[in-house]
Amino acid sequence: MARLQLKNVNKRWGSFVGVDNFDLDIADQEFLVLLGPSGCGKSTTMRMIAGLEDVTDGEIWLGDRVVNNLEPKDRDISMVFQSYGLYPNLSVYENIRFPLRVRKVPKEQHHEMVMKAIDMVELNDFMDRRPAELSGGQRQRVALGRAIVRKPTVFLMDEPLSNLDAKLRVSTRAQIKNLQSKLKTTTVYVTHDQIEAMTLADRVVVMNKGKIQQVGTPTDIYDNPANTFVASFIGSPAMNLVEGRLENGVFQGDGIRVEGLPAGSSGNVTLGFRAEDAEIVDGAGEISAPMYSIELLGEASMITWRLGGSLVSIKTNKEYRAEIGDTVNARIPAGICHLFDTASGERIAQ
């Protein structure tokens, strides 16, 4: 159990910046998710915490000591790798026992500890098999079992679900959440899947190009994205973003005009709103433009316009019918709108 702090951590390879000034304080027992597109530096950050990658600049604190110069084995963490990293020549039982063996845990305790971990990840029927004789989901659970068999101060998980099929991913996700709440171990979890992040995290760190974009609870980053990157990355579908001009509290874009916005600022702005917050109307609306497409989603239909350069979508009931090219109107109350500075992408305070 420990608090984990990253103080202005940087990773550079030559002139290439992998992680840029990463500064974060992770509380004891917290479930923290690093979320971002592929190549944004999530794994690098995690590997620096694990000690598998040197820190170019900055400090990593684990509990009350700086661990920058400690070997991975001395950091007392455990890690689940994307490709699991199981020992192919050892049985499931021996795979899970491996950390106890190399860490010189007294032999008499091994069996009990291993069996407890095996129970937790429900692998009792597969104890004697080799990894090659297991399905992807079972291998994944062996990796989890190996991580929890001793009580580490921090769990690190690097996209542990990305090699599983969609259905298994949902059930394993629930299992991980459950395990973490039982074990109460500080956890850093890396993913590029925003749904995983939203469902698992106490707090989410959204990263892009090596930089932290926003830190907050899932609700926080969903309701108040700090910039257009976060807005377009979180939510499914992602937030609609339209460029235009703001003048005296009136936003004017191509085919869209919203009144009653805060009058404080003016200039080129990007207006954002979520598909599920707006509604299609018959009379006049903030959007009035020819429809670009209509898609049936099952429980709802999705109407899309092309406004300026961007596609804007709104959900409506599944009975709604219109032809492509018809003018369709929608109501966008000022209250659901987010404003971002077009040049910097940053949120404009409201």
Partner 1 sequence: MSNLANKKPPSLVALSTVFVLFWLVVAAFPFLWTMWGSFKVEGDFFSRADWMNAITGPVTERQHGGPFTLDGYRGAWIEQEFWRAVLNTGIVVFFTVVISLTLGTLGGYALARSGFKYTFWLLMAALVFRAMPHVTLVSGYLLPFFQMNIWGYLPTTIIVLVAINQPFTLWMLHSFFLSIPKDLDEAAMVDGCTRFQAFRLAIIPVMWPGVVTTGLFSFLLAYNDFTVTSMLLTQENATMIPKINSFLGSTQEEGKVMYAVAAVVSAIVPLFVLILFFQRQIVSGLTAGAVKG
Return d(Cα 186, Cα 189) in angstroms, integer. Answer: 10
Residue 50 touches which of Mg ion, ligand ADP, partner 1, none (CB < 5 to 8 A by kind)?
partner 1
Between the alpha carbon of residue 40 and those of residues 283, 286, 338, the distances in Å are 45, 36, 25
Select the residue interacting with partner 1 from 102, 166, 284, 349 (CB under 8 A).
102
Select the residue interacting with partner 1 from 22, 31, 84, 251 (CB under 8 A).
84
- Residue 284 as a binder of partner 1 (CB under 8 A): the answer is no
- Residue 77 as a binder of partner 1 (CB under 8 A): the answer is yes
- Residue 98 as a binder of partner 1 (CB under 8 A): the answer is yes
Minimum distance between the CB of residue 56 and ligand ADP, rounded to whole angstroms?
Answer: 12
* Residue with Cβ nearer ligand ADP (14 or 106): 14
Q: Which of residues 10-49 bind ligand ADP (CB under 6 A)?
A: 13, 16, 18, 36, 38-44
Between the alpha carbon of residue 168 and those of residues 3, 78, 172, 200, the distances in Å are 31, 23, 6, 15
Which x/- pattern over 129-168 shows residues binding partner 1 (rule: CB under 8 A)? --xx-------------x----------------------
Going by C-alpha positions, the residue among 92, 85, 148 that lies closest to residue 120 is: 148
Encoded amino acid at 174, one letter: A
Say what angle helices 136-148 and 166-183 make with each other, to 10 degrees: 10
Residue 184 touches which of ligand ADP, Mg ion, partner 1, none (CB < 5 to 8 A by kind)?
none
* Cβ-Cβ contacts under 8 Å for 69 (sequence gap 6 or more): none
Bridge-based pairing state of the strands 77-80 and 154-158: parallel
Residue 41 touches which of Mg ion, partner 1, ligand ADP, none (CB < 5 to 8 A by kind)?
ligand ADP
- Residue 152 as a binder of ligand ADP (CB under 6 A): the answer is no
- Residue 227 as a binder of ligand ADP (CB under 6 A): the answer is no
Minimum distance between the CB of residue 117 and ligand ADP, rounded to whole angstroms?
Answer: 27
69: burial class by Cβ within 10 Å (0-12, 13-18, 19+)?
exposed
Coarse DSSP helix, strand, coil percentages of the chain, rounded to the nearest 5 percent: 25, 35, 40
The whole-angstrom distance between residue 8's C-alpha and the CA centroid of its chain comes to: 21
- Residue 52 as a binder of partner 1 (CB under 8 A): the answer is yes
Q: Is 72 helix (H, G, I), strand (E, B) or coil?
A: helix
Minimum distance between the CB of residue 85 and Mg ion, rounded to whole angstroms?
Answer: 14
* Residue with Cβ nearer ligand ADP (39 or 262): 39
Q: Take residue 201 and report the two structure tokens written for it.
A: 């995290």
- Residue 191 as a binder of ligand ADP (CB under 6 A): the answer is no
List interacting residues with partner 1 (CB under 8 A): 50-52, 71-73, 77-79, 81-90, 98-99, 102-103, 131-132, 146
